[in-house]
Chains A and B, each alone.
Chain A
Amino acid sequence: MSTDQDGRLRSVQAHHYTLEAEADLLRLLQTAFGPEWGDAALWRWKHCTRPGFSPCDVLIYTSGDTAIGCWHMASHSLRFAPGLEVLSSFEGDYALDPTWRGIGIRRRDQATGQELRALAERGVVARFAFTSQALYERLYRNKLGWRRVPTVTSRYRKLLNDRAIRSRLQAAGARLLQGRFMQRLVRSKPLVIQVEVRGFSPCSLVIERSAAVCREAVLAIPDLTVRIPYAALTISRDRPGFSFLVLIRALLSGQVRARGLTRFSLRCVSSVFIVGN
C-alpha cells in the first residue's frame, strides 16, 4: 500500500447514526447502488423503525467533514438449529464513495476493528450478509474471510403479462444480435420473427443491425413464425441439463412449432455463402 493510501486510511473515522447523517447515508447508498436502491422513506423503515434498532447499528465513515462510506447492521437472535438461537448480526447496505474504493476500508482501518470488538461485547456471536455470487468470489471469500452458507432457498419467478414476455424476448434478441452469425443475417435487412407463447398475445421480434425490438403488433409477413411453450421461454441458463430436458419435452410433445423454416434456412445459407464472400 502506498504512503498516500496509508495516509488516507488513517484519516478515516467511524461514527454511529445521528439524524443529521441521513442525507449523507442516502447519497452514499444511491451512488453505490443507483436510485433503485430506494428513497429516504425506505431507509428510515429499514433501519430506524426496525424493532430493536440501535444507533450503533449504523456506521458512517468520514474523512474530515465528508462522509465516504456506510455500513448497516441488525442484531437479533437467529435460529442455528431447532432449540438453538444465537445472537447474530445481519449486515448490509455497505456503500463506499467510488474514490475511496480499493484501499482496504473494512480490512485495514482501526475503526472497523473497534466496531467489531464492540459488536462482540454486545453479545453478537456471528455475522451474516447477502451478496452476489460474483462479489463473493472476487471479494468476500478471499479478501474478507466470509464463507457461503448452503441454503435451501430458491427464487421462483413467473412472467404475468404480454409486456413482460416482450421484454424477455427483446433481451433474448439482443443477446442473439451479439453473435457474429446473427449480425451477418441482419446485415442487409431486419429479421422478423413472430413469436407465439401459449397463454399470451403473439408478438413480433424484429432484429435489426443495431438493435432488437419486440413489438406488440404482429407484422404481416414474418421471416419465421415460432410457437413455444412458456416453460421454454423461462429456461434457466444456470441449469443446462434441466433446460435441455424441457426443450426436448417441448419438441417431442409438439409444443414447439415453426413456420417459414425453408425461407429462413435459405436466408441463413445466403448470409453465410453470399454475403460472407
Chain B
Amino acid sequence: MPIVRNYRPGDEPNLVAVWNESYAGYAGLATHTVEYWRWSILSRPGMSADDVLVLEADGEVLGYAALWTRGTVLDFVVDPGQRPRARRAMIRQLLSALEERARQRGWDSIDFSLPASDRLTDKTLRAAAYRVERNSCFMVKVLNPQALLLQLMRKREKSLAALSGKSFLVTLTRGDDPLLLQTRLFIRIGQIVAVENVSDSTDRRADCNVQLSICALAEMIFCRATPQDMLRNSLITVDPPSRQTEVCRLLSSLSLDSRWHTPHSDTF
C-alpha cells in the first residue's frame, strides 16, 4: 500500500525520473534535470518544501505533487506504468493529501494544469468535482526556418525517400509576421537532406518553386493545417502546378502530430 510523505532532501533524482517518464510521450516540454527541478520547484519564492508530497511504496517513488501558493499545483505525476486500477487509487490518494494540505494552508481552491489526454487522471479529477477549463493560449513563431526544416526533414528522411533527387526552392513571405529573417530556402532531397538559406542569392534553380508565408509554414508544422487545404485556399503557390503532389508530400512530412503539453512548472 503506497504512502504519502513529505519531500526529503535527496528525493530529487527519483522525482525527476518519474516526471520524465510520465511526460516522455509529450511535446512542448523539455526533459527535466535535477538542477532544473530544484530551481523550478524548491527555489520558487513562496514555495515550502513541506508542500512537496511524495507517493511511495516499499521505498520506491511512484509519484509526487508540488503545491505552490494559493493552491497552484506545479507538478502532479503518478507513475504511468502502474495498472489502471492501482494508478487510479494512487491518484486519489495523492489528490486527497494535496487537498488536505491546501486546506491546512488556508487556500480557497486548488488548481492543476495537466494533459487531458491522460484519460485516467482526467476522469479521476472530474469525478472528484474538478472543473475543467481550457483558456490559455500557447503560441509559436518560426524564427529560423532553415534550421527548423533541416532538423525536421532529417528526422523524417524515410518518409521523404520517394522525393529523392528532387529539389525545391521555397520563397517565404511575411504574412502577418512583421519580421522575417529568411526569404528563400533551397531544399535538396538526396541521401542526406540539405536545406540552405539562399535569401541573398537569386540564381538558384530548382525542380519546383514553392511560395508561402512564414505563418502558413508554422500552421502546417505546429497547428495541423494540411498543405492540401493551404493549396485550395491559395496560401501556397507551386510552380509548375504539376508538382503539387510532391510539394504536398514534402510539406506533410513536416507536420508535428505529437501531443503538446505545457505544465505549470514550465510556464514562463
**Chain B residues within 8 Å of A78, by CB:** 27-30
**B262 near A142 (CB under 8 angstroms)?**
no
Q: Residue-by-residue, is A20-52 near B (CB-CB < 8 Å gives 1, otherwise 0)?
A: 000000000000000000110110011001110
**Chain B residues within 8 Å of A90, by CB:** 268
**B28 near A125 (CB under 8 angstroms)?**
no
A127 with B141, Cβ < 8 A, contacts A51-B35, A158-B109 known: yes
CA distance A117 to B179 in the complex (A): 10
CA distance A49 to B116 in the complex (A): 31
Size range of the interface on A? 35 or more
A125 with B109, Cβ < 8 A, contacts A145-B174, A152-B117, A154-B133 known: no
**Chain A residues within 8 Å of B4, by CB:** none
**Chain A residues within 8 Å of B246, by CB:** none
**A160 near B129 (CB under 8 angstroms)?**
no
Let me know if B86 is at the binding interface, CB within 8 A. no
**A150 near B45 (CB under 8 angstroms)?**
no
Q: How many residues of B are counted as interface, with CB atoms below 8 angstroms from the partner's CB atoms? A: 78
**B143 near A127 (CB under 8 angstroms)?**
yes
**Chain B residues within 8 Å of A117, by CB:** 181
Let me know if A136 is at the binding interface, CB within 8 A. yes
**B30 near A86 (CB under 8 angstroms)?**
no
**B151 near A157 (CB under 8 angstroms)?**
no
**Chain B residues within 8 Å of A130, by CB:** 136-139, 262, 267-268
**A152 near B261 (CB under 8 angstroms)?**
yes
Q: Residue-by-residue, is B146-190 near A (CB-CB < 8 Å gives 1, otherwise 0)?
A: 011001100100000000000000000011111101000000000
Name the residue on B nearest A137 (C-beta): B137
Let me know if A89 is at the binding interface, CB within 8 A. yes
How far does the Cβ of B42 sit from chain A's closest Cβ, in whole Å? 11
**Chain A residues within 8 Å of B194, by CB:** none
**B28 near A79 (CB under 8 angstroms)?**
yes
Q: Residue-by-residue, is A200-238 near B (CB-CB < 8 Å gives 1, otherwise 0)?
A: 000000000000000000000000000000110011101
**B115 near A158 (CB under 8 angstroms)?**
no
Q: Residue-by-residue, is A51-81 near B (CB-CB < 8 Å gives 1, otherwise 0)?
A: 1000000000000000000001010111111
**A91 near B268 (CB under 8 angstroms)?**
yes
Task: Point out the residue from B131, B144, B259 that lies within 8 Å of A236, measured CB to CB.
Answer: B131
Let me know if A276 is at the binding interface, CB within 8 A. no
Let me know if B125 is at the binding interface, CB within 8 A. yes
CA distance A42 to B268 in the complex (A): 12
**Chain B residues within 8 Å of A143, by CB:** 176, 178
List 5 A-B pairs, minimum CB-CB distance, nearest first.
A145-B177, A164-B108, A234-B131, A145-B176, A146-B139
